[in-house]
Every structure is written in structure tokens, then in C-alpha cells.
Amino acid sequence: MKKLVLWGNMAALLLMFGMMSCASTPEAALPPEPLTAIPPVQPEPDPPSPGVDDIRELILVEGEKFIDTPYKSPPKTPENFDCSGFVSFLFRENADMDLPTSSGAYINAGELIDFNDAKPGDLLIFTSEPGGKQINHVAILYKKSDAGELRGSQLLHAISIPTKTATLKGNPDTTGVKISELGKRGDGRWQQEYFLSRFFAVRRVFDD
């Protein structure tokens, strides 16, 4: 009888052990997949700084927008201009340059260059009388003549010439911001007109 009980207990133990051994064991957790590194967002590169030639062109393009703006001295820019106020305004707004607001001061602005080396955007200064030395006008070279000479070249400037003087000196009735052709009268004939006869020098304010 005791043997039967012993065998029964052993059988029960074996059954329990078998059940325990057959129980499902939890699956081992898989290692997490490595995170893919996200490259940092690169900032947009700064646009290239405009070159000198770009600034020269910008000054002329912006200056054209003021054609026929009235002349007044002293000026209240940009509602009106005198010659030095117009030049100073364009270079300040488009080239971040502080240039004189008095035409006489342009005799020392930048560097003196020969007209043969002049480019559109350089400055031309003029005297009050032919052959004189007192500077009373400054203009921007707009376009050189096909021959590369002073005669026939064009100026972008703010001018005021009385009607009588304009007629006598070969200019049309001229006041305000204009593009003028040196040596050409309002009627298309050539002569030593007002500004051509008073040309004094070319000044360059750019670091070419």
C-alpha cells in the first residue's frame, strides 16, 4: 500500500515537472534597431555679394527711375534733387557710400582717373565757366560714346539751366534729372555745348 502511495506521489511530481517544463517561456526581447542619424539641416548659403560692376549698373538703373524729378537746391530727396544731392542719394541707397552733398567737394572724392579709363558709374565734375577751376557740377557717366570719347558720351544728372542760357549754349530747356549727351544740342547739331566746354575731371569712388 505504501508503495502505491509512493508511486502515486512520484507520478504526480513527474506530471507537475513535465507541465512546468512544457510551459512557454517568454521570447527574448530583440535588440532595438539602431536609429538612423538624421543629417542636420544645412542653412541656405548667403547669396554672393554684388560685384563692383553690378553696383555700377544698379546705380544707373535706379537713377533712371528719377528721370524728370524736379531740380531744387537745397534738395529734399527723393522728392527733388540738386546735382550733388542726386549723386549722393544714389550712391548711399545703392552702394552704401557716403559721398559729399556739395559739388565742390567732389574734387577730392575717390581718385582721379583719365577719361579713357572711365566706366559708366564713374563721376564727372564740371566748372562754372569754360577753362575755370571752381567746381559747381557733378554728374554720373551713363554711357561712353562709341568712339570712347568725351564728346557723345552721356551723363545722368540733376541740372538746372535757365531757358535763355540753355538756348545760347546749345542745350534744350533743361531742368530736373536728365540724361544728357555731351556736345549735342537739343536740335541734334554738334557744338561745344554747355557741359562739354566745362568738363574738368573724372573721379572714381569704386575700388576697381
- The pLDDT tens digits for 16-28 are 545 444 445 556 6
| Alpha helices in 43-201, H assignment, sequence order | 52-64, 83-95, 163-168
Exposed / middle / buried, residue 63 (Cβ in 10 Å: 0-12, 13-18, 19+): buried
Across the range 80-106, mean pLDDT stands at: 96
Q: Does a structural domain hold residue 43?
A: no
pLDDT tens readout for residues 19-78: 444 445 556 666 777 767 777 877 877 666 679 999 999 999 999 999 999 999 888 889
Q: Does a structural domain hold residue 42?
A: no
Q: Does a structural domain hold residue 2?
A: no
Q: Does a structural domain hold residue 140?
A: yes
Q: Which residue range is the domain that position 171 belongs to?
A: 52-204
Q: Does a structural domain hold residue 70?
A: yes
Q: Does a structural domain hold residue 138?
A: yes
Q: Does a structural domain hold residue 85?
A: yes
Domain count along the chain? 1
| DSSP reduced 3-state for 160 | strand
Q: Does a structural domain hold residue 23?
A: no
pTM, to two decimals: 0.72
Q: CATH number of the domain that 180 lies in?
A: 3.90.1720.10
Phi, psi (rounded to 5 degrees) for 14? -60, -40
In this model, does residue 3 exceed pLDDT 50?
no
